[in-house]
Structure 1
């Protein structure tokens, strides 16, 4: 991924947990998050990627 991108993380109820802007590969800290399903949106220029991750 090149250039600036934004990643937004939401909990299962749709509440925004965090937003980060990054230029290169990044890691999102999840230690303080409760177990469950989370959804993410990554936006970069005209591209948008969505997905989900489950913490157990």
Structure 2
């Protein structure tokens, strides 16, 4: 008999969802790299709206 929908054995969570966890990590990494490349591209490197412009200019001098 199920008590509040709970079973006698544990329901697997990680095993069926591991592809989604892996894909989330890979997607996060790739989007982060694409954003960084876009911010540092030549067209936006010296744009006043770029929040990283000061940091990029500081790195260019070194």
Q: Structure 2 length normalisation: TM-score? A: 0.17
Structure with more of its chain in helix, by fraction = 2
Q: Structure 1 length normalisation: TM-score? A: 0.18
Structure with more of its chain in strand, by fraction = 1
